[in-house]
Amino acid sequence: MLQSILRLSFLLMTESTPAWIVLAHLLRPQGRKGEVLAELFTDFPERFEEQTRVFLAPTGFKGKVAEARTAEVVSFWLPVGKNEGRIVMHFAGVDTISDAESIAGQDVIIPREERLPLDDESVYISELIGCTVYDGTTAIGVVEDVQFATTADGARRLTDAAPLLAVTSRDGDEVLIPFAKAFLVTVDTEGKRIDMALPEGLVDVNRSASDKT
């Protein structure tokens, strides 16, 4: 199960503003005609072929739709080599290196209701936050974060490595648990529960004691 895991980063929401999904983070110009290299946070970049309208906003944006900058993706491609796993995006009206520099550092976001529907073997990473992880009948703790393996320089995500669930135990310790198909039993995001069958000793080996004074 869970052959494909969609990393749409984390929901950014308050009671009075819409929830946003982060699809990409714009890094720097990549070309002479306004193209921008971006960190990709979705396993479905093909969404940009039909759903071209997106929004640009600073990282952590929690405002309303009317407060975000509307943008249209006119083209995109997936680079290879040192930038494999990223995306190059070209937006309408962004036609020069200077234009691209002006939007570098912003996030490409959409309202939560515009995210793509998933099949039964996929899950949004954001929906794992707050879930309680069980190893059999034993509650390990609550997922506080999801971490991804990167290259040694931290520049690129390793897509063939399983994400790590950063789980906080009842004692306040952090336990890193591979979110791997081999260990998963069921995932109930509505019930906020993840059932796993973990190898003996994995929890203790991956446990980091909390810093207590």
Residue-wise pLDDT tens digits, 3-25: 334 333 344 444 445 688 889 99
- Predicted confidence at residue 89, as pLDDT, reads 98
Count Cβ atoms below 10 Å from residue 180 Cβ, excluding itself: 14
CATH topology assigned to domain 20-114: Elongation Factor Tu (Ef-tu); domain 3 (2.40.30)
d(CA 95, CA 212): 53
Q: Which residues contact 4 (CB under 8 A, 6 or more apart)?
A: 43, 119, 121, 122
Domain locations in the chain as residue ranges: 20-114, 129-208
- Predicted confidence at residue 19, as pLDDT, reads 84
With a pLDDT cut of 70, the percent of the chain lying above it is: 83
Mean pLDDT, residues 73-90 taken together: 93
- Predicted confidence at residue 6, as pLDDT, reads 37
Q: What is the pTM of this model?
A: 0.64
d(CA 82, CA 136): 41
Q: Pairing state of beta strands 86-91 and 174-178?
A: unpaired
Q: Write phi, then psi, for 40 (nearest 5 degrees).
A: -100, 130
Q: Which residues contact 209 (CB under 8 A, 6 or more apart)?
A: 173
Tens digit of each residue's pLDDT (9 = 90 or more) over 101-123: 999 999 999 998 887 776 666 67
Side chain identity at 19, as an amino acid letter?
A
Tens digit of each residue's pLDDT (9 = 90 or more) over 85-102: 899 999 999 999 999 999
Side chain identity at 198, as an amino acid letter?
L
The matching CATH number, chosen from 1.10.10, 2.130.10, 2.60.120, 2.30.30, for 129-208 is 2.30.30
Are 142 and 132 in contact by the 8 Å Cβ rule? The answer is yes
With a pLDDT cut of 90, the percent of the chain lying above it is: 53
- Predicted confidence at residue 204, as pLDDT, reads 92
- Note the Cα 198 to chain centre separation in Å: 24
